[in-house]
Amino acid sequence: GDSVTQMEGPVTLSEEAFLTINCTYTATGYPSLFWYVQYPGEGLQLLLKATKADDKGSNKGFEATYRKETTSFHLEKGSVQVSDSAVYFCALSDNTNAGKSTFGDGTTLTVKP
Amino acid sequence: EPEVTQTPSHQVTQMGQEVILRCVPISNHLYFYWYRQILGQKVEFLVSFYNNEISEKSEIFDDQFSVERPDGSNFTLKIRSTKLEDSAMYFCASSGGPNRYTGELFFGEGSRLTVL
C-alpha cells in the first residue's frame, strides 16, 4: 500500500536558520503530494501541494518539489521564524477511490529566538 | 472563508459508552473523511465517504464504528462501545466539488475523545 516516510524529529533551529524536512513516499500510480502544518492546539491545514512530477509547491516562504525519480517531496525554507514552530506532515493522495490521503508521522519543529 | 466545524471539542466518556462526534463539512464539498491522531503525532485514516456511502475504510474502522450523513450538512462518526484505546483526537475533513477534486483536505479543529 501507499506510505510516507518523514525524517525523524524533533527539529530545533535558531531563528533565520535554513530548514529541510525530508519526505519520501511509496505509491502506485501518480499521487498528489502535500505538506500540512499543525500549530499547537489546532487542526491540520494545507501548507503547499504539488500534483505532478517536477511541480514546485510554495507558500509562506516554504517550498517543496515533486521528484518522481527519487520519490521525494522535501520541505525547505530559507529562513525560519519563531512563528514557524509547529508539527509538519507530509502526505500523499492517491487521486482515486475518493482520494484517501496517507500521512507521514509528522516532524515537530521548534524555532528558538 | 468556509471552514469545517466539529462538535464537541472535547468529550470524556466511560468505557463501553456510545459516542457520536459531529462535523459540518464545507457546504459544496462532496468527499468526507474521518482521521484520528494519537498523542499529537501520527494521523491515521479511518474512513472516506462519498455519494452517501463509504468508499474506503481502514482496519481501525471495525464494526464498532459507523458514519452517517443524516441530512445535507452533518457528517457524524459513531463509536458504539468505546474502549480505552479509542482515546484520541478525531479530525473530520472534507474535499472537492464537482469537476474540481484536488486531493487537498480541509480539516476541522478536531474533537478530543477521552475514554476512562
CA distance B107 to chain A (A): 6
- Integer CA distances (angstroms), A15 to A7, A38, A41, in order: 20, 19, 22
For the stretch A50-79, pLDDT in tens is 999 999 999 999 999 999 999 999 999 999
The predicted structure's pLDDT at residue B40: 66
The predicted structure's pLDDT at residue B72: 78
The predicted structure's pLDDT at residue A110: 96
Chain B residues in contact with chain A using a Cβ-Cβ cutoff of 8 Å: 4, 31, 33, 35, 40-45, 48-50, 55-56, 91, 95-96, 101-110
Q: Look at B91 and A44 and tell me if their CB atoms are within 8 Å.
A: yes
Give the model's confidence band at A20: pLDDT under 50 very low, under 70 low, under 90 confident, else very high: very high
CA distance A15 to chain B (A): 24
Round the average pLDDT of chain A to a whole number and report it. Answer: 92
Identify any residues that bridge with A3 across adjacent strands, giving them in sequence order: A26
Number of A to B CB contacts under 8 A, please give it: 71
CA pair distance A101, A92, nearest whole angstrom: 5
Q: Which is more confidently placed, A42 or A58?
A: A58
Chain B residues in contact with A103 by the CB 8 A cut-off are 35, 42-45
For the stretch B90-110, pLDDT in tens is 999 998 765 566 788 999 999
Q: Give chain A's end-to-end CA distance (angstroms, integer).
A: 41
Residue A16 per-residue DSSP state: T
Q: What is the mean pLDDT of residues B2-29?
A: 94
Contact call for residues A12 and A112 (beta carbons, < 8 A): yes
- With cell 468529550, the residue in question is B11
Q: With 60 as the cut, is the pLDDT of residue A10 above it?
A: yes
Of A87-91, A100-104, B37-41, B109-113, the poorest mean pLDDT is in B37-41
Residue A3 per-residue DSSP state: E
CA pair distance A35, A58, nearest whole angstrom: 10
Q: Look at B96 and A99 and tell me if their CB atoms are within 8 Å.
A: yes
The predicted structure's pLDDT at residue A41: 84
Cα torsion B99, A104, A84, B32: sign: positive
Give the model's confidence band at A42: pLDDT under 50 very low, under 70 low, under 90 confident, else very high: confident
Give the model's confidence band at B9: pLDDT under 50 very low, under 70 low, under 90 confident, else very high: very high
CA pair distance B59, B10, nearest whole angstrom: 25
Pairing of strands B31-37, B88-95: antiparallel
Q: Look at A105 and B33 and tell me if their CB atoms are within 8 Å.
A: no
How many residues are present in chain B?
A: 116
CA pair distance B56, B49, nearest whole angstrom: 7
Q: Look at A105 and B45 and tell me if their CB atoms are within 8 Å.
A: no
Q: With 60 as the cut, is the pLDDT of residue A31 above it?
A: yes
Nearest CA to A58 out of A88, A38, A34, A81 is that of A34
What DSSP line would sit under chain B, residue for residue?
----EEE-SEEEE-TT--EEEEEE--TT--EEEEEEESTTS-EEEEEEEETTEEEEE-TT--TTEEEE--SSS-EEEEESS--GGG-EEEEEEEE--TT------EE---EEEEE-
Task: Count the neighbouring beta carbons within 10 Å of the beta carbon of residue B79.
Answer: 19
